[in-house]
Each structure stands twice: as C-alpha cells, then as structure tokens.
Chains A and B, each alone.
Chain A
Amino acid sequence: MWRLEARPAPSRRARWLAPLAALALTIVLGALLFAALGQPPGRALAVFFLRPLQNGYGVGEWLLKATPLMLCGLGLALGFRANVWNIGAEGQLILGAVAAGGLAIAFEGSDSALLLPAMMVAGILGGMAWAAIPALLRTSCQTNEILTSLMLAYVAPLLLAWLVNGPWRDPDGFNFPQSIQFGEAALLTPLFDGTRLTAIFPLALGLALAAWLFQHHSYLGFQMNVAGHSAAAARYAGFSADRTVWMALLIGGGCAGLAGFAEVAGPLGQLLPNVSPGYGFAAIVVAFVGRLHPVGVVLASLLMSLLYLGGEAAQMELDLPAAITGLFQGALLFALLACDTFVNYRLRWRRQS
C-alpha cells in the first residue's frame, strides 16, 4: 500500500522540483482541456505557448506584461515571507496609476523632463498610501490585513471609475470613460523600435536583485522574517513587530504603485477604467509559484505573462473564450499546491500490517 508520510525535514530538492512538476502537470491538464474542447492538443499548445513568441514584437509584449507581475510579485513575496498577507496589490497598483496619471493630467502640455520621474514617484507613493491603510489598521487596531487589503482592492477600481467618468474624463472623448491621452513628456519611450517594452523591465530585474539581497543577506530582512514568524520571539529579541508590518506593506504597495505607473505611462498612455487585467491578484500566484524567492518570482512572472498572451492567441486563432487564461492560471496554482505536498511528505510503499 502506498502511504504518504511526513519527511523528517522539508526536502530542498522537492522545493525546487515542485514548480517544474507543476508546470508539466499544467501542460498535461491544458492538453486534456484542449482535447475536450475539440482542438488537437499539440497544435493548441503550440498556439498557446509558442505563437506569442514568434517575433521581436511578441517577445517585447511578453516581457512588457511580465513587468507589472514581477513588480507586484516581488513586493508581495517579501511581505508573505514576513507573514504579512497583502492581498490588495491590485488596489495599490490602481492607486499608483491614479497618482501618476493624475500628475500627467494636471501638467497636460508640459514638456518638462521632470514630469516622468515625478509621475514615477507619485505612482510609488500612491501605492504606498493605499497599503498604509491596512498597515495602520493592523498596528493600531489589530485588524487582519488580509481582509482590509482585499476590501481596499475593490474600493480602488471604484475610485478610478469615478475619476474617469467624472472629473478626469476627456472632454473630447465622445463621453467614453477615459482620460486624455498623455503628452510625450509623460510617456516612457520604448527600449527597442517595434516593441512597446520600456525601461521599467530592466528596473524590475534590478529590484529583484535588491529584493534578494534584502531577504537573504540583510539583518533587517532577517528581523522581518522573525517578526513574521513569531511576534513573541521578535519582542524577546528586541525587534519591532509593527515595523515589520509597515515595511512589508509599504514595500508591497510601493512596488505595485510602480507597476501602476509603468502601465499608464507605458502601453496605456492614459487612464482607463481597467488599467489592470488583474495583475495584482495574479501576482499572488506569481509569488507562490516563485517560492517567495526573487529569482523564482522573475521566472514565475515570465510564465504567467506567457499564459496571458497564450490566452489571447487562443482566443484569436482557436476561437476559444477569454476564460482560458484564468483556467490555465488556476490549473498552475492547483498543480503547484498539489506538488508542494511532496516538500513536506514523501510516498512510501509499505505492506499492510
């Protein structure tokens, strides 16, 4: 009889193999899904995973979409490691977009070289401000940040919708709920001709490196980790639990806000009711698929971005519904959780007694 038994210590090998096994399992599940939809699985998978990357523009789009996922995922992973559960990166991203976009609208027609950096700072501060609310509530009223950050993630789109339907609506926009197109000085220029990829992507890679340094080599990162695991142990050692909550949420909010800025000053070029197709929520999956490790987050965000593009390709070429992207994301997370079992458990054959 096969039995699942606890390992004496978590397996390091299984920890790194689990995401790969999960990816393989996701592809198998995807093939079954395509077969059930009447598509030849081989071709459908090729359309899903390979078609988007066929040319330079496609690769640019892939990295472009990975950028906000990477930024949000890095910030979230840092908080999750400290046991601070910021589920509201989506809202923080939107507030970052609102703050940066608001600046672009206020300085319409400006050609100052300072506008773009100012928008970036505004975006980061906007995300931080939105994340500061759950931080304040947790440190002063002991509220659960999972609930408050999630609730605020639903408030943020309503705020954005009100702005683009009301005060910030483009007067010449035929009543569409959207802002004016931002001027040249408020837009990031593409890194390469023929793509929309901006300098925020290499910046995100740099932040991944910084996050790795912080998490694994800084004393402050260690203190956050301890405070996250056990408030009593942190107090005993003289670390501040409140500081951990604040830092985790502010870093997470700042990263998400930066992603919001990157979206409105990059591919979008204006404020729309839907500045994010759920990047903030998908980043939770990214953080976990990436093992809460910065390198893992970078890889996971690339994979997740491909799922978005693959979903679009499948819609266009195979005439499949948009839900296909969500199904793949769900299958990936599901497979990962299943494979994760083998980090702490192993299968053993034993004769029945």
Chain B
Amino acid sequence: MLEPAPQTSPPRLELRGVTKHYPGVIANNNVDLIVYPGEIHAVLGENGAGKSTLMKVIYGLVHPDRGEIRWNGQPVRIASPAVARRLGIGMVFQHFALFESLTVAENIALALTEAPPAALLAARIRELSERYGLPLTPEQPVYQLSVGERQRVEIVRCLLQSPRLLILDEPTSVLTPQAVDHLFTTLRQLAAEGVSLLYISHKLEEIRTLCHGATVLRGGRVTGHCLPSEESADSLARLMIGDELPACRLIPHPVGRTPRLVLDGLNQPADGPFGTDLQDIQLTIHSGEIVGVAGASGNGQRELLAALSGEAPTPSLEMVRLLDEPIGHLDPAARRARGMAFVPEERLGRGAVPALSLADNALLTAARRGLVRRGLVRRSRVLRYTCDIIERFRVKCHGATAPARSLSGGNLQKFIVGREIAQEPQVMVVAQPTWGVDVSSAALVRERLMELRNRGVALLVISEDLDELFEISDRIVVLAGGRLSPARSATATDAAEIGRWMGGGFCNELGYVAA
C-alpha cells in the first residue's frame, strides 16, 4: 500500500506561476507545482501539454519567462543543468542524450562532475544495474544499444549521482513487467530514503499504483491536482484529455485466412558483438490477423525487424517468404514493391528525415504510388498524396511543407503509419507503434491498424507495451534471447504467462520446440 507522503518539512521543490512562451505557443502558463521530500509525484498530460518544458525548466535547460522556483524553501535560479545537478536534481530523459560512439561507462563518466577511475566506475555501474534490474555492459558502445537499453544507461547514470530529486520521463515504457515491478521497488526505496521523484508517464495504471500525488496539465495549464490512488485509470485519463478513452476491441471476423508472410527457420546473426542472434524463428502470419511480438528490447527485436524489412541480408533467401515466394535476398524497396510496408521503431532519422518536409517524407517510401515518372518527381501528386495522409490520419502540422522534426511524436507517428497504410500493403510490420505517443494519437494508430486487419492485411506488431498487444493482437508470441515462443491466442493467455515467457520461460516450460 501507499505510504502517505510526509508533508511536515518544507517542500523539496516548489514552482509558482512558471510561464514559458515559445514563438506561437505558450508551453507553460502560470504553472504551480509542489513536491515534498520522499514524495513520488506524477505529472500527467498528453503530448504537447507542456510536461517536457516544465521538466526542462526544473533541470535548468529552459529558463522561464516568469515565475519562481524554491528549493528546500529557498528561492533559486537554476541557470544550467550543472546548477541543477549541484542542487541534487537528476533527470532521465525520454529522448536520450548519449554519445553514439562512446561506451556505456564513458557516457556515464561524461555526466559526472568527478568521475572515478574507469575500473571503479564500471564496477559501480554493474552493481547499480544489477541491484535495480537494469542489466548493462559498461564496455559496450552505445550505438549498439536498443532504445530500451539506452534508457537503462540514463537511469543508472542518474542514480550514480545520488540525486535528491529525480525526474523520470516515461521510464517504464521499455521495461518488462517484472523489470517494472523491480524498478518500482527501487523507486519506492529511493522515496523512503527521502528522495523526491517527479514521474511522467502515459501509463495511468502505473501512476495509480506508484504515485502519492499528481498534477495534471492540459494545454500548458494546470487543470487539477489529485491523489492517484483514489482515482481510476479512466478518471485520470478524463482529467488529462477531457473525455473517455476511445474504446478499441478486436472483432472476430469470418474472412478465410491464408498465409501471407512465413518465417521458416530464420537464423539471423547479431548485428553487432552485443546484439542477439536470431535462432530458428518459425512464424506464419495470415491475412486478416495481427500477430503481436512481445519482449523487452535487445532480445533480437532489432535483428528481426531488419531481417523482415530487408535492411540486413538474410543468410538464405528461403528463410523469409512472402505470398509463397522467397524474398530473403530483396532490399527494402523491392520488398515494398511486393506489398510489404514497415513502420520502424525510430521515427526521426529512420522512419522520417527530420529536416525534410512531410511531402518529401511521403516520397521516401511511396515513390511507387505514381509519384515518380521517368526518373522525375511529380510534385503536385506528392503534395496531394501528402495532404491526403495528413487529413485521413488527423496529423496536426503546418501543412505538407512542414519539416518532419516540427511535429510532435504522436503526430509524426500518425503520419508515418498513414504513409505506410496508404500504400495498401499486403503485409505490414510495425515496431513500437505507440511508444512515447500521446493517448489519443495512440488510440487512433491502433484503430487504424485494426481496420487494416479487418480488411484482410497481415500485420506483425513488435511492441514492449503488453496492454497494447493484448488490445490489438489475434495471436501473441514472445521474442526472448533471440528465440521465438509458440504463438498463443490473445484470449487464451494472460500477462502473467507472457511476462514469464519474456524472461525466456517458454524454453523450460515447453521444452524448446519450433512453433
């Protein structure tokens, strides 16, 4: 049960009337926020509600136009992250600020004001990462890490600095259920030691079980304070978006199912010395079904996606078959031409080019849709195609010429998913469809994926969000340690079994047999 937050001492952090203007938008409007020592305080809000800006103000990355900040009762000016760290504020970012070419230990050393000798630091990283269930190899270069592993680096980096206030931006979105429990134990322990935590998450259930208090933001303003334990997930969501969550349920449908995509004994070598070898993956995806791939990042997800999309060559071309034809040798463009579509995990930099316009980003994968003739781009068609996607998927943006990086995560994801769906694929592979995406965009994306399934498309969804997989999958498989579990009908299994399998349990429970 929740401990009542101790409220006798002065607040650890107090914000009064914090206001921050950006050109054309007020990110924070007169925001008040109070966090007591030992309190786990949630900041709730959709993408664009102003949570990130508020956290950046507290961490000294953004200077407010107006407003007062008090730290342990004293007014302070947090001029830079260095000042924030000196005060004892740590932050786990949602978008990780890591140097790709450096190792885990080197990245962490860079963030410390006085880094201990390398060997000692590596030992402390190992110790912390084991204690908190965040396995890391200190010597591993960061470019080889998956999103989930990168987040572990961020968390461990903050914990090394023994913070008094820890800001966590969506910390659990990439963890297994067991690891989430583990992390929560840690966070509660930190809180019991007197550390304050500011917790940003879209997972309302988590906030209810973890947080002592919550501040809800909408459109840059505080719209309410509440005690999460006394609210339901639905009532929290209402506070946040103003109305009920759109309901999504799969309806069984009678369409005859034929195999579309077959993985036949797929062995894919790891994409780096610390990657995961895929071993003997057997999976058939039929028309009109969504197969969900559960599992934590770094268990072969990257390799599976690369093998499916054609970004990595497959050892034998028979290992991947589309509509009964081997395609293991084809590059991504050729696979698209045969009716596949892909939504990658990284939106900016892979799924879309940040600096280019949405129109150019539509052309990125949709050239076949009559957008190119005799080597020349047909501009007006590209614009029409782009505007069509923007309209159909309710992408909020400044039109087809807006650069991709100007869109919020949710809107960019709607655009990318829309672009792929508009190509009328036979088979669609989607990785982390709603990671870091606001609630209403996530609902729309899931809805569109289910529509696609109902039209007879075969979908493979790789996700770390179990709730999502249970909501939209016909069958669920687990990828753990480079092996794929047998497929289970989503109605015939539960989170406990899948969670066990995510630890590799299916090998022992079933003896390992090819699915």
Contacts and interface: CB of A to CB of B under 8 A. Distances in A.
- Residue among A6, A213, A222, A225 with most chain B CB within 10 A: A222
Contacts of B402: 9
A49 to B, nearest CB: 36
Contacts of A9: 398, 402-403, 406
A6 B25 CA distance: 12
A98 to B, nearest CB: 34
B336 A238 contact: yes
B309 A236 contact: yes
A238 B377 contact: no
Given A225-B356, A226-B353, A353-B65, A236 B344 contact: yes
- Residue among A7, A9, A232, A237 with most chain B CB within 10 A: A237
Nearest 9 A-B pairs (CB), nearest first? A238-B333, A238-B332, A232-B350, A219-B372, A229-B353, A238-B331, A233-B353, A237-B364, A236-B350
B332 A233 contact: no
A175 B376 CA distance: 55
Interface string B317-351: 00000000000000111111000001010100111
- Residue among A213, A225, A230 with most chain B CB within 10 A: A230
Nearest to A240: B331
A236 B311 contact: yes
B349 A232 contact: yes
B350 A233 contact: yes
B254 interface: no
B364 A233 contact: yes
8 contacts: A213-B376, A222-B363, A226-B353, A233-B353, A236-B309, A236-B311, A237-B332, A238-B331
B375 interface: yes
Interface of B: 22-24, 65-66, 309-311, 331-336, 342, 344, 346, 349-356, 360, 363-365, 367, 372, 375-377, 379, 398, 402-403, 406
Nearest to B334: A238
A238 B310 contact: yes
Contacts of A236: 309, 311, 332, 342, 344, 350-351, 365
B352 A353 contact: no
A5 interface: yes
Contacts of B372: 219
A229 B349 CA distance: 8
Nearest to A233: B353
Contacts of B22: 6
B364 A226 contact: yes
Interface string A132-150: 0000000000000000000
Contacts of A110: none
A236 B335 CA distance: 11
A346 B66 CA distance: 21
B68 to A, nearest CB: 11
A87 to B, nearest CB: 22
Interface of A: 5-9, 213, 217-220, 222, 225-226, 229-230, 232-233, 235-239, 346, 353
B67 to A, nearest CB: 9
A220 B374 CA distance: 11
A110 to B, nearest CB: 39
B86 to A, nearest CB: 25
Nearest to B357: A9
A9 B331 CA distance: 35
Contacts of B352: 233
Contact of B333 (A213, A230, A237): A237
Contact of A222 (B309, B311, B354, B377): B377
Contacts of A346: 23
Contacts, number: 77
Given A7-B23, A219-B375, A229 B354 contact: yes
A234 to B, nearest CB: 9
B346 A232 contact: yes
A217 B333 contact: no
A230 B349 contact: yes
A218 B354 CA distance: 21
A10 to B, nearest CB: 8
A219 B24 contact: no
Given A8-B23, A235-B311, A236-B309, A218 B66 contact: no
A226 B367 CA distance: 13
Nearest to B403: A9
A9 B356 CA distance: 12
- Residue among A5, A8, A220, A225 with most chain B CB within 10 A: A8
Contacts of B344: 236
B364 A218 contact: no
A342 B65 CA distance: 22
A236 B302 CA distance: 13
Nearest to A348: B23
- Residue among B23, B336, B360, B367 with most chain A CB within 10 A: B23
A230 B375 contact: no
Nearest to A350: B65
A100 B322 CA distance: 53
B191 to A, nearest CB: 35
A138 to B, nearest CB: 16
Contacts of B331: 238
Contacts of A8: 23-24, 398, 406
A219 B333 contact: no
A39 B486 CA distance: 87
Contacts of A220: 375
A218 B334 CA distance: 20
Contacts of B66: 353
Nearest to A229: B353
B355 to A, nearest CB: 6
A20 to B, nearest CB: 23
Contact of A218 (B342, B349, B355, B376): B376
A238 B311 CA distance: 7
Nearest to A5: B23
Contacts of B349: 230, 232-233
Contact of B365 (A7, A217, A218, A237): A237
A5 B20 CA distance: 13
Contacts of B376: 213, 217-219
Nearest to B382: A222
B509 to A, nearest CB: 36
Nearest to A7: B23
Nearest to B333: A238
